[in-house]
Chains A and B, each alone.
Chain A
Amino acid sequence: MASDIALSQAAAAETKRRRNYARHYAWFVVPAAVVVIAVIIFPWVFTLYVSAFNWHLGGEREWVGFGNYVKLFTDSRFGWAVARTLFYTGLAVVLPMIFGLAAALAFHRKFPLRGLARTVFILPMMATPVAVALVWTMMFHPQLGVLNWLLSQVGLPPSLWVYSAETVIPTLVLVEVWHWTPLVMLLILGGLASLPTDPYEAAKIDGANAWQAFRHITMPLLAPFVVVALIIRTIDALKAFDTIYVITQGGPGQASETINIFLYLQAFAFYNVGYASAVVVVFFAIIMLLAALLLWTRQRVKAT
């Protein structure tokens, strides 16, 4: 009985100590809370608020409630922008993942001048996207660009690259692949370097060939790293804006108008900030949905 009383007194003292601790140190949270409220929560609440108005910069503000969202879901131009974004993202994720994985496996092997080769391979990643876009724009010029000259040297017909509605998105993906495959390679290379050697030795003793070792040892162990690369690449591809805007401005016509370009035009070319805010909210929901899906996949990969 006495010991029970002593225990409850100790528990009460502990609770009191924790309460005092929290009271004394709560102020330390304030700076972080202020920053979070100022740069994340307030802009979000304000964006939601603005999205409920028909509001042009310099013009009248009219309350429309969910009107902008209704308009958005019936706007075929927005629908096409979503479709193009998904198409672009699909290509701009899958191709760098394949090439990045292949490059990582190649650079994981020991060969002369490997360090130099790795350095050269990651150089594109270091370049500023806008500078990269400007250089590619010059190279894509149908008459004066170096790419068509190269094609002519090997007997291939010239291409219109970004100057054709049919080839513009694959061509933009080409720039994205060139620019960001090194990042995927680095992430997966880091994973490869951390893999244990024991399973490979055991597999060798059991007579497994190189493909079997890759398929049954490397890939399962590497999967968490691949998923991390996949998440980063997906988010990067979804938010791609600078290269597309600099190279095509969403053209020819609207052939490369992704959600970001559509949003930019609404906000900063048409100054339709109410409608643009509704686009932001919907786009945020799409990104959150995809990120949640990828994180869920990551958890499943970890569990297995």
Chain B
Amino acid sequence: MTRGISRRQALAAGSALLAAPAIVEKANAQSAFDWKRFRGERIEVTVQLSPRGQLLQRGNQEFEELTGIRCGIEVVPEQQHRQKIIVEYASGRPSFDVAELSLHVNKRQVGKARWNTDIRPLIQDTNLTSPDFDFADFGAGMVQYATQADGRMDSLPAFADYFIIYYNKELFAARNIAVPTTWDEMYEAAKRLADPSRQVYGHVGRGLKNANVVLWSSYLLGTNQRDMIDGNRQLITDTPDAIWAGEMYKKFLRDVSPPGSIGFNWNECQTTFMQGRAAMWVDGIGFAAPLEDRARSRVAGKVGYALVPKGPGANHHCALFGAGYGIPEASRKKGPAWYWLQWALSKQNQLRFLTTGAGVPARSSPFSNEEAIAASTFPREFFQTLSASARIARAGLPEIVPVTQFRDVIGTALTNTISGADVATELRRATAEFRPVLEQSERES
């Protein structure tokens, strides 16, 4: 005999259901980390305009629901963002509680001025750090990249950006050309792949001053030298290896790149490659997402990914750039800000960045998530190139305070070589011009 549910039972079950969220929340608070500790507080976060920044902005509601902290998130274009945060830091009262830092540009400047708080004590504080955070999951290389010379880690490493080769598989197949493994092979391949009658060029790369230095440093990382300053922090940008890298830069940009490359930044290069007008492009791995976007790119599904070629020297590195998130020393909301960092750079978010092509996470665990990688829209070759690049990555810019001025001066010299100027003369002139700037900066450090 079966009995129906009585009215009393139905009322009891309804009450239990209504009470469930509160009971679960209480249970969580008691049994696990207290994410609601700073409920009702408000923080301000400033990040760069990029697929990563936009993902974090879109996920803001998730953070607010998890913690009860209200978060204002500001997304500013990269270059303006770097300037804005420095001016605000220098004012002594920055308007933000968390800021994204380009480690290859701002790290030493921010570290020298001690504008950010040391993250390590926060990580060690079990009251403030979730057991799920798992700092050991962060790659050692990225942790080192975010650590200052004095041992302070004043930003939590978030993403790496490796320089790789993007190549147009269709064009390579049409000419039956193999993926190059040395810079010389790449130059020869670029010459063979060019088809001026269809305005198709073998290569496209950054020619605009400042932006172009990272392409030159990619060549330099394949020589015996591989650095731009020596152990005594003296400039070494006019050595035979540096000049060889300059000659390679000149050859690629002058001989096998589209006319007008002298003014190309990454966006012009991206457009040219996306339209199928260039067979190869050496640039940051973060551009994979737009290149594979079928709505915008004519080469979606035809993009090949490869490790940067070897040079004539003993070294083989790809240029590494990176970003981290820091909490200003002047912030009065360090606790809530640390909560935001834990959420933003959680295993789950870092995996999202990897599988959507938004960036290379600083954590290791996303790379071992075979299931998520298999489900990604990116080809396996992309992830293989990424892993291989991680093993040979090395800083693509010197770790100095006036790094933007370095890029400006050396970049102008490189740009002049595209117009035909002598590489050795230009690099010696630029080195002589920048040397006193660096010396003064080092004296102040």
Q: Which residues of A contact B (CB under 8 A)?
A: 56-60, 141-144, 158, 160-165, 168, 248-254, 265, 268-271
Task: Assess the B277–A144 pair: CB atoms within 8 A.
Answer: yes
Cβ of B412 under 8 Å from chain A: yes
Cβ of B44 under 8 Å from chain A: no
Query: Nearest 8 pairs between A and B by C-beta?
Result: A163-B260, A142-B260, A58-B113, A163-B263, A252-B262, A253-B415, A57-B90, A268-B83
Task: Assess the A59–B401 pair: CB atoms within 8 A.
Answer: yes
Task: Assess the B208–A252 pair: CB atoms within 8 A.
Answer: yes
Within 8 A of A (CB), among B19-46: none
User: Chain B nearest CB: distance from A96 CB in Å?
Assistant: 25
The majority secondary structure among interface residues of chain A is: loop
Task: Assess the A143–B272 pair: CB atoms within 8 A.
Answer: yes
On chain B, the residues within 8 Å of A253 by CB distance are 209, 262, 412, 415-416, 419
Provide a sorted-by-A list of 19 A–B residue pairs whose CB atoms are within 8 angstroms: A56-B441, A57-B87, A57-B90, A58-B401, A59-B112, A59-B444, A142-B259, A143-B275, A144-B272, A163-B259, A165-B262, A168-B263, A249-B209, A252-B418, A253-B209, A253-B262, A253-B412, A253-B419, A270-B404
**Chain A minimum-CB-distance residue to B110:** A58
Q: How large is the interface on B (under 10, 10 to 19, 20 to 34, 35 or more residues)?
A: 35 or more
User: Chain B nearest CB: distance from A240 CB in Å?
Assistant: 18
A-B contact count (CB 8 A): 97
On chain A, the residues within 8 Å of B83 by CB distance are 268-269
Task: Assess the A164–B89 pair: CB atoms within 8 A.
Answer: no
Task: Assess the B263–A252 pair: CB atoms within 8 A.
Answer: yes
Task: Assess the B271–A144 pair: CB atoms within 8 A.
Answer: yes
A112→B99 CA distance, assembly (Å): 59
Task: Assess the A58–B90 pair: CB atoms within 8 A.
Answer: yes
A59→B441 CA distance, assembly (Å): 9
Cβ of B402 under 8 Å from chain A: yes
A249→B441 CA distance, assembly (Å): 25
On chain A, the residues within 8 Å of B209 by CB distance are 249-254
**Chain A minimum-CB-distance residue to B80:** A268
User: Chain B nearest CB: distance from A181 CB in Å?
Assistant: 25
A270→B90 CA distance, assembly (Å): 14
Task: Assess the B208–A56 pair: CB atoms within 8 A.
Answer: no
On chain A, the residues within 8 Å of B260 by CB distance are 141-143, 160-161, 163-164
A89→B263 CA distance, assembly (Å): 22
On chain A, the residues within 8 Å of B261 by CB distance are 163
Q: Which of these, B263, B272, B405, B444, contacts A248 with CB under 8 Å?
A: B263
**Chain A minimum-CB-distance residue to B106:** A58
Task: Assess the A141–B415 pair: CB atoms within 8 A.
Answer: no
User: Chain B nearest CB: distance from A231 CB in Å?
Assistant: 32
On chain B, the residues within 8 Å of A144 by CB distance are 271-272, 275, 277
On chain A, the residues within 8 Å of B412 by CB distance are 253-254
